[in-house]
Amino acid sequence: MMQAPLHCLCLLILYLTIGYSQEGKFSGPLEPKTFSIFEGQEASQVIFQFKASPPAVTFKLTGETDGIFQIQPDGLLYHNRALDRETRAVHKLQLSALDAQGAIVEGPVPITIEVKDINDNRPTFLQRKYEGSVRQNSRPGKPFMYVNATDLDDPTTPNGQLIYEIVIQLPKINNIMYFQINNKTGAISLTLEGSRALDPSKNSNYNLVVSVKDMGGQNENSFSDSTSVDIMVKENIWKAPKPVEIVENSTDPHPIKITQVQWNEPGAQYFLVDKEKLPRFPFSIDQEGGIYVTQPLDREEKDSYVFYAVAKDEVGQVLSFPLEIHVKVKDINDNPPTCPSAVTVFEVQENENIGSNIGTFTAHDDDEENTANSVLVYRIVDQIPTFPKEGLFLVQTYSGVFQLAERSLKKQDTPQYNLTVEVADKDFKTLCHVQVHVIDINDQIPIFEKSDYGSLTLAEDTVVGSTILTIQATDADEPFTGSSKILYRITQGDSDRRLGVDTDPQTNAGYVIIKRPLDFETTAIHDIVFQAENPEPLVSGVNYNTSSSATFRLIVTDVNEVPEFSERVYQAKVSEDVAIGTKVGNVTARDPENLDISYSLRDNGRGWLKIDPVTGEISTVARLDREAESVYRVQVVATEIGGSSLSSIASFHLTLSDVNDNPPRLAKDNSGLFLCHPLQTTGSVIFEATDDDQQSFRGPQFEFSLSSEILQKDWQVSKINGTHAKLSTRHTNFEERVYSIPIHINDGGRPPLIGTVSLQVTFCKCVEGSCFRPAGHQSGMPTVGMAVGILLTTVLVIGIILAVVFIRIKKNEGKDNVESAQASEAQPLKN
């Protein structure tokens, strides 16, 4: 009788030690409950103490007890042996309270026992050995086989989370892994190095040892298993086919299969990519990898094509690198020869030797070069005229070179020959036309009509371009050819090339023209020798002689000329702060007649410069100011002393470089700055500064500060950027009035200059964000009292004026009545 209570007491002590209750309580009423218990715990573990109200005296447990779960009559629920989650993960029980007769007085209520997993099962591979194969050059990262392991532990806990790893690769060349495994899925694929390096001709078989661990591989107490994987490397069949040749203009039905590509595994989808982005792409591919030409090709339109074949998987991912497909269009002889032009013209001099080349005739064939289809054969089939005989010309059969065949030609006999040339390839013939012009040889020299053209006197200021003389020579060669055209040269008397001779192409007359100004001071007399020549060389044995030359004397007279400056524009650069009297430049002029020169300035509007009238030295006579004018431009006048006092003008440009001589100032009027009164929080206004000095590429970099430390208890200044700053209040206790805040602005120059500005800030009442000032507070506006006084005064004045006018009217009326009475008294009665 003592064993049961003792057993219950032991269970109670053990329960209190371990504590399994869902709510952390040892006992409670009979109601639905769920308990979580780790598998593998020792037997006789207490779960919960249920209590029932009278008349219940005992409990009954039913459901999926599996002989493991029991309950004592006093309601103590326990299990009598270890639980196994892999046998049953959840036990569904029903618990009832019974009276002394065994009748149910409470319940049944559901009791759920959840068996929590512990890591008590090791992972195991489904196979002790796996075999697979992969093609060389397969895409890195694309699985070609899987290994799988299972673990009976709960997969939702780390106990059942498996991690795969390749621990051995044999052979392992250069310590490089060719294979990789997805540590979660067991998918085996090639690494990038493996995709590049696998070659069945070198190593066709590889062995991997793959391990699997549970606990996510993160626990040193995790279980593991391993398996062997044999991989055979197969040759890559995804290779570019050999270049394809297609005969142009095929009449066979299209499309025509021209080549084939194939991916390493079935199920690939094939596509063609036009590398050249052609407007018309004449190729297609089927889903077996067959490549077709879809229409006849024309080699003369395009002689080759390059495009790509691409293989993709079922989701559109590219399986490997594209294959480059080359197609060459094979030529057929489908184009006749063409003439280079409607008529080809050759020229031959009448003294040419027999066998001389007179030209090359080159026809064209659109068929492929350097093939039998484009080899051309030339033959002369007709000559007009045949005088003095036929066969005067021959043409090289394959080169098209024309030669004289029989004798030298004479222009007097026939000036022109018309030849018909047959040009043929192996299937076509074309007739072309050639003209041979016989040209006169240059065996006559030009002869002047007179050998001396006398003399001519000209002033040195004669206008350039003036024609001063016409000369004439004649040539007995054929007119309007290079043999009879005459070119005139001045061979003596004009070393400065002031003269030139232009030839009239119709008459061969030569016009002597002034090309450059004449200069008495340089050369007063020119003894000219003219030479007449042909552009075509003279034939051997014929030379120019004295008949082809003539003389002429040009006398130049002096003219008083203006002085000449050495430059049109003189330029100088100085700092704007140079001392008065500083030399800034020098000008020089020369008088052609060697007269003395006096210098003076013109347009010296600011009076900054002066010039030494003798030396031309320019210096300052006043302070310079870059801000007033950065480039000061004046004119320099050079006047000859004596003679006609002629003068000339040059420009002098003085560029002023900046110095820091202007303090910063406010960029604009800031009288409109205000803050709304009373301040609810600290306020601020923004203002901008500027500087008249030249700024760097970074712009101004001003520093801002209050002019007095006393102001710092009420105000502070903060810099926004190089030109803007913010004036802020330090508190809100300000009066409704205008404050003048003196501020220092430092330009940071060399030397630095500080400008002190007064910033006016008005504290005023605001209406809709704008400053509102009552009329009584505005300068120049009357107060209400003043306005009333002005109004009353105005009314009073108007009243006085009206009273005066009324009184005067009354007086006038009384006077009129008196005068009227007097008049009536003096007037006699009428009968």
Residues 694 and 741 in one domain: yes
Q: Tell whether the torsion through CA atoms of 403, 407, 408 and 410 is positive or negative.
A: negative
Q: Choose among 556, 559, 567: nearest CA to 593.
A: 559
CA angle 155, 159, 160 (to 5 degrees): 30
Task: Tell me if 429 sits within 8 A of 421, measured CB to CB.
Answer: no
Which carries the bigger pLDDT value, residue 221 or residue 518?
A: 518
Q: Name which of 352, 273, 335, 356 is nearest 309 in CA terms.
A: 273
**pLDDT (0 to 100) of residue 497:** 94
Q: Are residues 215 and 256 in the same domain?
A: no
Instruction: List the structure tokens of 298.
Output: 């024309």
Bond into 563 cis (ω within 30): no
Cis, bond preceding 337 (omega within 30 deg of 0): no
Q: Phi, psi at residue 151, to the nearest 5°?
A: -145, 125
CATH number of the domain bearing residue 54: 2.60.40.60
Note whether 380 and 421 are same-domain residues: yes
For 123-132, 243-252, 473-482, 499-508, which range has the lowest pLDDT when averaged over its residues?
473-482
* Residue 148 within any structural domain of the chain: yes
Dist CA 37 CA 78 (whole Å): 11
CA distance linking residue 582 with residue 373, whole number of Å: 88
Q: How many domains is the chain partitioned into structurally? A: 7
pLDDT at 14 (0 to 100): 41
Query: To which residue do tokens 């004397």 refer?
Result: 553
Strands 104-116 and 90-98: antiparallel
Q: Is 25 exposed, middle or buried (0-12, 13-18, 19+ CB in 10 A)?
A: exposed
Which of 387, 411, 439 terminates a domain? The answer is 439
Asked if residue 532 is part of any domain, the answer here is yes
Express as a percent the part of the chain with pLDDT over 90.
63
Quick one: tokens of 392? 């005067």
Instruction: Answer whether 531's CB lies under 8 Å from 471's CB.
Output: no
Q: How far apart are CA 39 and CA 44, in angstroms?
A: 13
CB 256 within 8 A of CB 292: yes
Mean pLDDT over residues 506-511, rounded? 96
* Rounded CA separation 707/727 (Å): 13
Task: Indicate whether 425 and 459 sit together in one domain.
Answer: no
- Let me know if residue 16 belongs to a domain: no
pLDDT tens readout for residues 637-687: 999 998 678 899 999 999 998 888 889 999 888 778 999 999 989 999 999
pLDDT tens digits along 266-281: 889 999 999 888 889 9
Clarify whether residues 717 and 694 are in a common domain.
Answer: yes
- Say yes or no: 142 and 196 in one domain: yes
Q: Tell me: pLDDT of 17 over 60.
A: no
Helix count and strand count (H, E) for the chain: 3, 57
pLDDT of 443 reads 83
Pairwise CA distance, residues 476 & 483, whole Å: 9
Same domain, 302 and 377: no
The yes-or-no verdict on residue 180 having pLDDT over 90 is yes
DSSP state of 463: P
Q: CA-CA-CA-CA torsion for 201, 203, 204, 205, nearest 10 degrees?
A: 170
Is 675 among the domain residues?
Answer: yes
- Per 3-state DSSP, the chain is made up of helix, strand and coil in percentages (nearest 5) of 10, 40, 50
Taking the C-alpha atoms of residue 673 and residue 90, their distance in angstroms, rounded to an integer, is 81
Confidence band for 388, pLDDT divided at 50, 70 and 90:
confident
On whether the CB atoms of residues 610 and 618 are closer than 8 A, the answer is yes
Judge whether 62 and 71 are in contact, CB under 8 Å. Answer: no
Residues 680-693: tens digit of each pLDDT: 899 999 999 998 87
Distances (CA, A) of 134 to 183, 190, 193, 194, 237: 19, 9, 14, 11, 11
d(CA 408, CA 406): 7
Residue-wise pLDDT for 328-340, tens only, equals: 999 998 899 999 9
132 shares its domain with 89: no
| Highest-scoring range by mean pLDDT, 41-50, 110-119, 778-787 | 110-119
Domain assignment present for residue 819? The answer is: no
Q: How far apart are CA 171 and CA 178, in angstroms?
A: 10
Q: Which of 9-13, 277-281, 781-785 has the lowest mean pLDDT?
A: 9-13
Q: Is the pLDDT of residue 541 over 90?
A: no
Pair of tokens at residue 444? 């006559």
Task: Pinpoint the alpha helices (H) of 408-511.
Answer: none
Percentage with pLDDT > 70 across the chain: 91
Question: Which residues constitute the domain of residue 147?
Answer: 124-234
Are residues 392 and 352 in contact, defined by beta-carbon separation less than 8 angstroms?
no
Residue closest to 134 by CA, chosen among 203, 70, 78, 76: 203
Whether residue 12 is predicted with pLDDT greater than 80 in this model: the reply is no
Burial zone of 793 (CB within 10 Å; 0-12 exposed, 13-18 middle, 19+ buried): exposed
Shared domain check, 362 and 295: no
pLDDT value at residue 721: 92
* Edge-to-edge order in the sheet of strand 145-146: 145-146, 187-190, 179-181
Domain boundary pick from 423, 439, 455: 439
User: Is residue 427 a part of any domain in this protein?
Assistant: yes
Q: Which of 138-147, 205-214, 466-475 has the lowest mean pLDDT?
A: 138-147
pLDDT at 821 over 50: no
pLDDT band, residue 287 (cuts 50/70/90): very high
Q: Is the pLDDT of residue 628 over 60?
A: yes
Domain end position, chosen among 63, 93, 116: 116
Q: What is the pLDDT of residue 9?
A: 40
The one-character DSSP state at 338 is B
Q: CB within 8 A of 81, min separation 6: which ones?
A: 43, 68
Query: Would 2 be classed as within a structural domain?
Result: no
Indicate if 167 and 134 belong to the same structural domain. yes
Are residues 267 and 225 part of one domain?
Answer: no
Predicted local distance difference test score (pLDDT) of residue 291? 96
Residue 776 has pLDDT above 50, yes or no: no
pLDDT, one tens digit per residue, over 559-591 is 878 899 999 999 999 998 899 999 999 999 998
pLDDT at 822 over 90: no
pLDDT at 778: 46
Strand ranges for 515-605 from DSSP E: 525-533, 549-557, 564-565, 569-575, 583-586, 589-590, 597-602
Global pTM exceeds 0.85: no
Residue 762 has pLDDT above 90, yes or no: yes
pLDDT at 787: 53
- The rounded distance, in Å, linking the Cα atoms of 671 and 656 is 35
- Give the mean model confidence (pLDDT) for residues 270-299: 94
Over 50: is that where the pLDDT of 801 sits?
Answer: yes
Give, for 16, the enclosing helix (H) or strand (E): helix 3-18
Q: Which residues contact 802 (CB under 8 A, 6 or more apart)?
A: none
Banded pLDDT at 408 (limits 50, 70, 90) = confident
Neighbours of 207 (CB within 10 A): 13
pLDDT of 351 strictly over 60? yes
pLDDT tops 70 at residue 818 = no
Name the strand (E) or helix (H) holding 813: helix 784-826
Whether residue 129 is found in the same domain as residue 112: no
The per-residue pLDDT of the chain, averaged, comes to 87
